[in-house]
A = this chain, B = another copy of it.
Amino acid sequence: MAAETKTILDIAREAGVSPATVSRVLSGHPNVSAKTSAKVQTVVDKYRFKPNSIARGLLQKHSKALGIIMPDIKHPYYASVFSAAQEEARRHGYVVQLYRLAYNAMITDDFANQLIERRLDGVMLCGGFIESTGLSGLPAVLTRLQQYMPIVTICPPIPGLSCINIYADLAAGLRKLVRHLYNLGHRRIAFIGATAETRSMGEREQGFTDEMLHLGLDPIMQPENIHTPAMGEQAVLKLLSAAPPAEWPTALAVVNDLMALGVLRQLHAMGLRLPEDMAVVGCDNQFFSAFTSPPLTTLDVYSEEHGAAAMRQLLQAQETHAAPFTQTRDPTLIVRESCGAQLDRRTPHPQA
């Protein structure tokens, strides 16, 4: 390994010039004669020489690396964000590093130190911890971190922290979903997966409740802190066994599509016909959401667009010290068969 790593000095020596000249040739500096340039290039090509980017980084005080912090890359939402952000970074010559921070973990001083030690050029925060409703201490850690590198998030602004926020307004999204169900004639609608634990989920719950009350309806809540398919099954079981079928809701709004997977499955297992006996809507428009049975009505929350946009802004903030700002967008309603309406098969493509 690392057999014969040439340095710029070796190249310079062999080409009969100074290391400074080699450096200039390599970086395309204008003030270098064609003859010298050619001479140097020959040697560079001969050894396929590539300058040590660590040494360069030390001098130029950058690492050309960005950190992305998220709770779970296996979750399709985060995978989408990460994928788009990586691609955007790559196009600008940067590399991304994944830092995992569990859903329920707080961002600590030690955690921030890792990023500082590595001299990252910026960091992108994506949900989980950062979304925690108990934000005690968080702004302090992040304010310190921000003295070393720019921060962007794809979540609502964190009180006490001024950084770039680009996110989808999920409360607005849930209002859309409720109105859609209402227009289809539903009056008893339950929300599955309510939780106060993270703000992103809290927003969904808030939007649901607001719109229900606004429509003069009574919001039925089935809270659940973990939003997996398996928990979706359990939630349905709990909700429906708590009341006789005559009093069941006619529609279920599930906190996200992942959990909806289990909801659908449990409803099938109970022998209900979908969407006739029960309408279901989800949130996030995952790649699988068009392929459930029935296909799921859901919200497009712009995971890829926002991942790319946030990364773009991060890169720009890093170069120009641009001012912090917040940008929101209302999710798009994606109507499919799961609540008994016309077809919409648009879907994000997992193999683009």
- A residues contacting B by CB (< 8 A) are 1-5, 48, 50-55, 57-58, 61, 63, 65, 72-76, 79-80, 82-83, 86-87, 90, 95-100, 103, 109, 113, 116-119, 144, 146-150, 226-230, 258, 261-262, 264-265, 268, 287-288, 290-293, 295, 318, 321, 347-352
Nearest CB of chain B from residue A331's CB, rounded to whole Å: 19
Q: Which of B53, B90, B119 contacts A53 (CB 8 A)?
A: B119
Contact status B291-A1, CB under 8 Å: no
Q: Which of B3, B48, B227, B288 contacts A113 (CB 8 A)?
A: B48
Instruction: Given A150-B1, A351-B75, answer yes or no on A82-B98 (Cβ-Cβ < 8 Å).
Output: yes
Q: Which of B227, B291, B348 contacts A351 (CB 8 A)?
A: B227
Q: Which residue of B lies closest to A120 (CB)?
A: B95
Question: 6 smallest A-B Cβ distances: which pairs?
Answer: A261-B291, A50-B117, A53-B117, A228-B351, A74-B79, A79-B79
List of B residues within 8 angstroms of A288 by Cβ:
229, 261, 288
CB<8 Å pairs between A and B, sample of 23: A1-B149, A1-B318, A2-B148, A4-B147, A50-B113, A52-B117, A54-B118, A54-B119, A72-B352, A73-B86, A74-B80, A79-B79, A83-B100, A95-B97, A96-B97, A97-B97, A226-B351, A227-B351, A228-B351, A258-B350, A261-B291, A265-B291, A265-B295
Q: Which of B52, B95, B148 contacts A5 (CB 8 A)?
A: B148
Contact status A293-B321, CB under 8 Å: no
Q: Which of B75, B98, B148, B352 contacts A98 (CB 8 A)?
A: B98
Q: How far is the CA of A72 from the CA of B230 in the complex (A)?
A: 26
Contact status B100-A291, CB under 8 Å: no
List of B residues within 8 angstroms of A98 by Cβ:
82, 86, 96, 98
